[in-house]
Amino acid sequence: MPESPDFDPAAIERLQRLGGTDFVLKMLDLFLDYAAKKISEARAALSAGNLEAVESAVHPLKSSAGNIGAARLRALATQAEDLARERQAEAVTACLAELEAAFAAVKPLLEQKRQALSRPDR
């Protein structure tokens, strides 16, 4: 897998040592689904002008992205949460766009990792 500032494969290795390959596969599946839902929730909340709901939607992304090795996504979730807490709607809008781009960048890397771990010869 190519090097990427969006993904730290060492996080997956730590998860694998912690719980084994099946655990990592489950974590990847959960993260890919959960992150997409939370980003969608944040976008909908922003469209409704509800910055408190944006804050609530992105908050859990910080730890889940960190656990899975999505460092840039984690940093942007932290930033979006802080901006939403400070009620900076314009900055939140820009940050969510970056957050969506970061997820789009890391998603195929995580899917590749998942596919590699799913091979019978793993």
Looking at residue 120, its pLDDT comes to: 67
Distance CA 122, CA 50 (A): 45
Looking at residue 1, its pLDDT comes to: 46
Could you tell me which residues come within 8 angstroms of residue 100 by beta carbon, excluding any fewer than 6 positions away?
A: 39, 43
Domain housing 82? 9-118
Mean pLDDT within 13-29: 95
Higher-scoring residue by pLDDT: 34, 2: 34
In a domain, 110, yes or no: yes
In a domain, 2, yes or no: no
Count of domains for the chain: 1
Could you tell me which residues come within 8 angstroms of residue 59 by beta carbon, excluding any fewer than 6 positions away?
A: 77, 81
Looking at residue 84, its pLDDT comes to: 97
pLDDT at 3 over 60: no
